Structure 1
Amino acid sequence: MARKPAKRSCSYLMSMSYLSLIVVTMVIGMGATWYVNRQINKYLRVPASTRITGAQMAERMLAANGVTGVQIHRGGPQQDHFDPRSNSITLDPDAFGGTSITAIATACHEVGHACQFAEGYAPMRIRGALVPAVNFASNAWVFLLMIGIFMHMAGLTTLAIIMYAVVVLFQLVTLPVEFDASRRGLAFLTTQGITSAEQSGAYSVLRACALTYVAAALTSILQLLWLLQSHDE
């Protein structure tokens, strides 16, 4: 009889700890999103003195780094990425055809990824090698966790946590890839005659975008720590 309150108390504390985790991760995510949107929109209205579009700046940076065979496509809203499978860059309409600080900073960041791919940048290769495992683990871990909990199968729960740890590892490896792409982009922009104020604006845009990856990694680490603690209990 004495054990029942203890179990209820343990269950209550675990529930409260998970609720706290949800609140913290929501605050981190919402804060990062607000800051990113603020910086992007702020410098989206500031034209760069170069007066060339993001797509044109991307072509310049590719040529300056001797990277060939990379196609630059116009994508939909907020579709900015480099695809190593097709060796192509996709820029959203504002970045592709715009001449703002946000446009050229975004374009150069994506070219930074193209340069990484062309050079065989180690963190990018590691990240690419993890993609198949992450694609599977990110979809399967939660189902294994729920089955393990409801069927009281500690082995499945442990496997689920290991799979989630792979997802966290992927996000951590992503950080140097993103930071290096921004570093490359900013270094190139300084050679294009933009003012110090424009360099500062480009830095603010790319720093804000990097914050989304930091926030995602941080929330994933917190989730993993909670899973490990709960598993030990």
Structure 2
Amino acid sequence: MFFFDPTFIILIPGLLLAFIAQAYVQERFSRYSKIPSSLNMTGAQLAKYMLESAGLYNVKIEKIPGHLTDHYDPRTKVVRLSDATYNSNSIAALGVVAHEIGHAIQHARHYVPLVIRTGIAPVVSFASNLSWILFIAGFIFMNIALIRIGVLLFSLAVIFSLITLPVEFDASNRAVKILRTNLMMSPNELEGVKKVLGAAAMTYVAGTLMAFLQLLRMILIAGFLGGNRD
């Protein structure tokens, strides 16, 4: 089975970075969750303030279960805050909330990478799932055409990951800028926010690397099979 072929070693750097990034973000969030912000605002209050300051009165704020499940849904214009951030006034919570509001502001300002990412997301999701079906089927039946189509479809997932990076970095930059200029957050607290968001950004970098390495592995397998057939 190709799952255990030697090309699997290509994925090791991505797996290691993903593990390190996940541990890093958990450590940073845990550390700064214990430090309350001098702003005296909960995550929900900060979200409301930032949205109103940006003139976004049509974006809803909802609480959802889970730990760090915070996200902005551009389809429904809803900012969903997790149990860990909604009622918390910690530096970590406010940083995460400000980041998600950054996405809402991106959406309202028609930030191009976000517009592209949102537009292609359904297609990429379908193509990514189909890519593995075709790739595995092609390998089982020794059909190089199916394998190559699978590789082509999976490349869309890599492109999606690359587009995601500037979207996430820009949302964090917007968050820090608002906390610094509009709310006058202290330099020490801002440094904590930057560390939390920087750790979170590492997870997206790791995801992009993993997608790229997976694509490279698929290409090598396709080339090996194609060479044998020739």
In structure 2, runs of 5+ residues without a counterpart are: 225-230
The Cα RMSD (Å) is 1.6
- Pick one of 106, 117, 131 that aligns with 1:127: 117
Shift of 1:189: 0.5
Shift of 1:112: 0.5
- Pick one of 163, 169, 188 that aligns with 2:159: 169
Provide the secondary structure at the position in 1 that maps to 2:131.
helix
Map of 1:39 onto structure 2 = 28
Confirm or deny that 1:23 pairs with 2:2.
no
**CA separation in 1, counterparts of 2:185 and 2:79?**
23
**CA separation in 1, counterparts of 2:117 and 2:194?**
24
**CA separation in 2, counterparts of 1:17 and 1:83?**
37
- Whichever residue aligns with residue 97 of structure 2, its letter is A
**CA separation in 1, counterparts of 2:107 and 2:221?**
40
1:17-73 superposed Cα distances (whole Å, 9 cap, x missing partner) = 31x134333212111111110111010101001111011111111122222211111
**CA separation in 2, counterparts of 1:104 and 1:24?**
32
**CA separation in 2, counterparts of 1:129 and 1:179?**
19
In structure 1, runs of 5+ residues without a counterpart are: 1-10
Map of 1:5 onto structure 2 = none
**CA separation in 1, counterparts of 2:110 and 2:185?**
29
Map of 1:87 onto structure 2 = 77
- Pick one of 149, 165, 189 that aligns with 1:159: 149
Map of 2:222 onto structure 1 = 231
Q: Does the 8 Å contact 2:117/2:163 carry over to 1? A: yes
Q: Does the 8 Å contact 2:113/2:167 carry over to 1? A: yes
- Pick one of 34, 40, 55 that aligns with 1:66: 55
Map of 1:202 onto structure 2 = 193
Amino-acid identity (%): 34
**CA separation in 2, counterparts of 1:193 and 1:151?**
63
User: Over alpha carbons, which structure has the higher Rg?
Assistant: 1
| Count of aligned residue pairs for this structure pair | 221
